[in-house]
Amino acid sequence: MTAFYSPTETESALLRRCVDLAAEALDDGDEPFGSLIADAEGTVLFEDRNRVKDGDATRHPEFEIARWAAENLTPEQRATAVTFTSGEHCPMCSAAHAWVGLGRIVYATGTVQLVGWLAEWGVPSGPVSPLPINAVAPGIEVAGPVAEFADEVKALHARMRGL
């Protein structure tokens, strides 16, 4: 059983934007993931979506956020900023997030859910272990998944695979 997180109205709206970015990525031939970073008041500072279709499989939005934050935010701003994402960070992005000192993460759907969907569809596992954020970065406060986005995000991943 998945234990779902109940987001605030602001958090829900920011996650909505992430899922829309994920759909935009899929429409453009990339994988359905979208993310953004907001300051402590909920103002969006930077957003991006997956861009792997041209051959660089590290072009995850959460990785771009970590790099953007390292260049543009002070350590204090990074620590209090909140990252929102349509799908929980992979180990690469969790590590980048922690290395640059970013704060809390709120995700719409979790790695455990994605792994379950891929198993359901008989999709072979990828080259990186599907570890949850806290297995890679134990000091990061995380919240998710959020029930209202599960079916929609699952449908994006199904569509990506022609299902």
In terms of C-beta density within 10 A (0-12 exposed, 13-18 middle, 19 or more buried), how is residue 123 classed?
middle
Question: Which among 64, 80, 149 is positioned nearest to 109, based on CA atoms?
Answer: 149
Q: Do residues 88 and 109 make contact, with C-beta atoms less than 8 angstroms apart?
A: yes
- Choice between 60 and 154, CB closer to Zn ion: 60
Residue 16 three-state SS: helix
Interface residue with Zn ion, options 90, 105, 106, 133 (CB under 5 A): 90
Interface residue with Zn ion, options 16, 60, 97, 157 (CB under 5 A): 60
Please list every residue from 69 through 88 that binds Zn ion, using CB under 5 A. Answer: none
- Choice between 23 and 93, CB closer to Zn ion: 93
93 interacts with Zn ion by CB under 5 A = yes
- Choice between 51 and 60, CB closer to Zn ion: 60
Minimum CB separation from Zn ion for residue 162, in Å? Answer: 23
Output DSSP code: residue 36.
Answer: E
49 interacts with Zn ion by CB under 5 A = no
Q: Do residues 32 and 157 make contact, with C-beta atoms less than 8 angstroms apart?
A: yes
Residue 64 three-state SS: helix
Q: Which residues bind to Zn ion, rule: CB under 5 A?
A: 60, 90, 92-93
